[in-house]
Amino acid sequence: MKHYTDDDIIDYLHHQVSDAIDAQIHAHLALCGDCRDRFDAEASLSDLLRSSARATERELPPMLRAQVWAQIRSARPSLLDRVRAFVSPAFAVPMAAALALLLYFGVPVLRSEQASSSPTVAAAYYFEEHAAEALQNPLSDHLSTSSALASGSDAPVARVNAPLIDAADAATLDDVAASRE
């Protein structure tokens, strides 16, 4: 049985071999315990190196770090960078608030000519309509108030509603109106 070298196993582990050789090594590892042990050792070493590299923080050499900071300090911001700095949240939020206030308070002022040309309904119209409807209902709670508003006089309720009710009801309403006064 032909055994594979450590380099072949490492290449297989990191998927650096062709498909045909990959299939051969895979079949060989299923049958050969020695090669499988070397494969497992290489796999655990690769995992250990990978986890160690992720866990440790590496420092740049001091000379390289000084050169990077010198480049940062000497760099002039471009026009695009200046515009971005201007539109940063420290400036954008108050500008947006001012724009919102301008739109909120400015739009009705700009449209005041259109609002005055639109037809309007006077509030007195609604009061008169309510009073007229109340006059048609003799059992309304606000009969005397509604009828006085509708007729514009201080006449007793029965006289205002006389055409709408019969004589017996009119006498009762006269008694009720007299007792209220």
- Read off the pLDDT band of 163 (50, 70, 90): very low
Better-scored residue on pLDDT, 37 or 124: 37
pLDDT at position 44 is 93
Evaluate if residue 63 carries a pLDDT over 50: yes
pLDDT at position 112 is 55
Better-scored residue on pLDDT, 170 or 147: 170
| DSSP one-letter string for 109-152 | HHTHHHHHHS----HHHHHHHHHHHHHH-TT-TTHHHHHHHHHS
- Read off the pLDDT band of 40 (50, 70, 90): very high
Show the tokens assigned to 175. Answer: 């008694």
pLDDT tens-digit readout, 115-161 = 455 556 667 777 778 777 777 776 665 545 544 544 555 444 444 44
Are the CB atoms for 72 and 43 separated by under 8 Å? no
pLDDT at position 78 is 87
Q: Provide the whole-model pTM.
A: 0.33
